[in-house]
């Protein structure tokens, strides 16, 4: 195995962790284990009748639901494997430091460690929306850094030669807009606002419902002992949902222009076409979510395609980078 193979494997593993994390969150298993890093005091999860009885007696605030517990723990196991792969990337690069820079792998490892802390806080802060959203952004940051690392070790990922149609700033702006839109999506999910607006393109039968943007944008206020199933009122949730929809329009319009630019360049056309395909799929999944009451599979795919869009943009950033 070559270093680039391990880097691409780590990127693919991160994508799996992000998708599984979305599935855990959307299936209401985020507090399937009320403690951390174990689950009801177990390295795995309580499964036998006597284990469940003991766990229920110890953790009286949350009864054991085996289905939710194992989903949460599988996500933690996969994240732990990612951490070990990140360590391997640093050790491998350090041992070949005369040939490889170990700065980026070291940064990735630090971000992975912080991401693990966010995972812990997600549980100990009882699904606080700001932590849940930060955990999603952290996962995308890890994915982005790993894709960049993998690209830098892949000989075929050379800078494109003709900068007439696409400048890197265009891709930077698109990446920033996409990250903001994904953050809004994470905020929507963390506040259980995905179904605050039913129907498309209108929200509950109107174009502009009564909304509370002040409460919608309050990311720090404490409301209760936990945040499962949301604590904001209806107008705030509708405001969150509408911000996500407006963001989708902005991102779509900008990406349509960017894709037009990309497809005019032979070297960048494949990434432009893949960006177009992912964008169409993502918009379709979003519409299905609000018209069919958030089907679990569709909502999970919506989360995964967002991560693929980010990976696509990072590859574009790498291809359009300036070189000496």
Record the tokens describing residue 229, joined without a space. Answer: 């199933």
> How distant, in Å, are the alpha carbons of 106, 148, 210, 307 from that of 1?
20, 19, 57, 26
What phi and psi values does residue 218 have, to the nearest 5 degrees? -80, 105
| Set 53, 72, 210, 324: catalytic member | 72
**Exposed (0-12), middle (13-18) or buried (19+): which is 60, by Cβ within 10 Å?**
exposed
Report the alpha-carbon angle 134-76-191, nearest 5.
35
CA 264 to chain centre: 30
Q: List the beta bridge partners of residue 315.
A: none
* SS3 readout for 256-315: HHHHHHHCCCCCCHHHHHHHHHHHHHHHHHHHHHHHCCCCHHHHHHHHHHHHHHHHHHHH
249 Cβ contact list (under 8 Å, min separation 6)? none
| Residue 48 is a catalytic residue | no
Tell which residue, 155, 150, 171, 180, has the closest CA to residue 262: 171
Token code pair at residue 288:
């299905």
What phi, psi does 206 have (nearest 5°)?
-130, 160
Q: Catalytic residue positions?
A: 72
């Amino acid at each position: 195995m070559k270093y680039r193979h391990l880097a691409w494997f780590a990127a693919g593993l991160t994508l799996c962790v992000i998708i599984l994390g979305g599935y855990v969150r959307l299936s209401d298993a985020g507090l399937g284990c009320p403690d951390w890093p174990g689950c009801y005091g177990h390295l795995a999860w309580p499964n036998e009748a006597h284990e469940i009885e003991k766990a229920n007696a110890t953790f009286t605030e949350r009864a054991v639901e085996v289905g939710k517990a194992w989903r949460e723990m599988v996500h933690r196991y996969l994240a732990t494997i990612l951490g070990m792969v990140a360590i391997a990337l640093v050790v491998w690069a350090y041992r070949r430091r005369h040939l490889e820079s170990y700065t980026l792998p070291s940064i990735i490892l630090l971000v992975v460690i912080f991401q693990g802390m966010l995972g812990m806080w997600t549980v100990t802060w009882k699904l606080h929306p700001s932590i849940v959203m930060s955990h999603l952004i952290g996962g995308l940051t890890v994915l982005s850094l790993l894709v960049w690392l993998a690209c830098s070790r892949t000989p075929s990922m050379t800078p494109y030669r003709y900068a007439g149609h696409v400048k890197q700033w265009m891709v930077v702006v698109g990446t920033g807009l996409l990250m903001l839109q994904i953050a809004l999506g994470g905020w929507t999910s963390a506040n259980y606002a995905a179904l605050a607006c039913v129907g498309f393109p209108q929200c509950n039968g109107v174009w502009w419902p009564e909304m509370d943007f002040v409460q919608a944008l309050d990311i720090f206020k404490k409301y209760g002992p936990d945040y499962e199933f949301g604590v904001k009122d209806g107008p705030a949730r509708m405001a969150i949902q509408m911000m996500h929809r407006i963001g989708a329009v902005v991102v779509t319009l900008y990406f349509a222009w960017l894709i037009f630019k990309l497809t005019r360049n032979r070297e960048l056309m494949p990434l432009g076409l893949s960006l177009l395909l992912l964008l169409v799929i993502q918009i379709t999944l979003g519409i299905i979510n609000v018209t069919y009451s958030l089907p679990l599979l569709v909502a999970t795919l919506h989360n995964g395609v967002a991560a693929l869009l980010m990976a696509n943009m990072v590859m574009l950033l790498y291809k359009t980078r300036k070189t000496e």
